[in-house]
Amino acid sequence: MRFVATTGTGRSVVFGDDRETNEYSPVETVLAALAACSAMDVVSILAKKRQVVTSYRIEVDGDQRDEYPQV
């Protein structure tokens, strides 16, 4: 399965199961988006406090069932 979502700004995101073509599952995308959102908030707050950031890392981990429904 492969799906392409186009945002209101005209950007496209490809969802799928093919790792060789660098497609991401919707669940992976949600986890990555949550991590990126958190990172942007934290770095923005640090910048407002005039903190120097040389490196920042966020790790996310999610568990999904193998059986359907894959909650």
- Cβ-contact 15, 2 below 8 angstroms: yes
In a domain, 28, yes or no: yes
pLDDT tens-place string over residues 5-41: 999 999 998 899 888 888 888 888 999 999 999 999 9
Q: Is residue 7 part of a domain?
A: yes
Contact 12, 6 (CB under 8 A): yes
In a domain, 11, yes or no: yes
Residue 54 belongs to a domain: no
* Distance from C-alpha of 47 to C-alpha of 57, rounded to nearest angstrom: 16
Q: Which domain holds residue 37?
A: 2-48
Confidence of residue 65 (pLDDT cuts 50, 70, 90): confident
- What is the model's pTM? 0.73
Domain contains 70: no
How many structural domains compose the chain? Answer: 1
Each residue of 36-56: pLDDT tens digit?
A: 999 999 999 999 999 999 999
62 lies in some domain: no
